[in-house]
Amino acid sequence: MNNSSSSAVYRLDPARVRGEFLRLLPISLFVIAFGTAFGLAAVQKGILPLEATFMSVLVFAGASQFAALELWGDQVALLPLMAITFAINSRHILMGASLYPMLRDMKTSQRYGLLLVLTDANWAIAAQDYQNGRRNLEVILGGGIVLWLAWLIGTLLGVYFGGLLAHPEQYGLDMVLGCFLLAMALGGRKNPRVLLAWIVAAAAAMAAYWWLPPHTHVVVGALAGGVVGFFWLERKTDEH
């Protein structure tokens, strides 16, 4: 397997896409619980079941959907809605950018099709694999589809039977994504350079959390960590 060749076209392997679908099936069960919580919260705000489901299908970004509910009333202010949705989801911009060294070897239509289901969990795996020298865009597609289905099913359950799971945090379910992302972060490559980037990122994220407008901390922290990489280049070593 040659990981360094970037001239070759990246072709998705259907068998691996299916494999990644199955690999993210367990975590998707937890995503169903989240979707249920969203569906319940949405109908409690007076949103119709079909509308809430439609939102999950088309938006597919949980944190921003919950935030939209905070703005809900007889009317929804357009600019705050756009600003909050953009701020919360702007992490996708950085996530997508980090996949570009792989995505550029792919046909344009495939590239942008795949990105429709880009989200935290499947991206975290692709990013970790890339750091470990494996090119894995199959997880974006296969994992993205299973996560999207789970979000849809969860929302449907929530709008109709939400009462069954009114307090997901009682069961620790609000920590699923956090624990998952932490496991991914710690499973990646660790060296003094990465450690320094993490310290800078953590400090910048907290500063932004406390003193900058809401929802900017992820982008601020990530860019600050990236600056460490910009000035401290990794010495070229052979992949083994």
Partner 1 sequence: MSIETSPLGVLAIIAVMALVTLATRWGGPFLMSYVTINPRIESFINTMASSVLIAILTPMAITGDLGARVALGTTGLLMLVLHKPLPSIAAGIAAAAAARYFF
| Residues from 20 through 59 that contact partner 1 (CB under 8 A) | 26-27, 30, 46-48, 51, 54-55, 58-59
Binding mask 158-187 for partner 1 (x = CB under 8 A): -----------xxxxxxxx-xxxxxxxxxx
Count, residues near partner 1 per rule CB under 8 A: 100
Is 238 a binder of partner 1 (CB under 8 A)?
no
End-to-end CA distance of the chain, in Å?
11
Nearer to partner 1, 7 or 75 (CB): 75
The backbone torsions φ and ψ at residue 191, rounded to the nearest 5 degrees and listed phi first, read: -150, 175
Is 112 a binder of partner 1 (CB under 8 A)?
yes
d(CA 174, CA 33): 9
Of residues 176, 195, 227, 133, the one with CA closest to residue 36:
176
Is 206 a binder of partner 1 (CB under 8 A)?
yes
Is the separation of the CB atoms in 49 and 38 below 8 Å? no
Which residue's structure tokens are 């792919």?
106
Nearer to partner 1, 140 or 153 (CB): 140
- Candidates 131, 135, 149, 212: give the one binding partner 1 (CB under 8 A): 131
Nearest approach, Cβ of 79 to partner 1 (angstroms)? 7
Quick count: other Cβ atoms within 10 Å of Cβ 69? 15
The backbone torsions φ and ψ at residue 189, rounded to the nearest 5 degrees and listed phi first, read: -75, 135
Is 141 a binder of partner 1 (CB under 8 A)?
no
- Candidates 16, 66, 90, 212: give the one binding partner 1 (CB under 8 A): 90
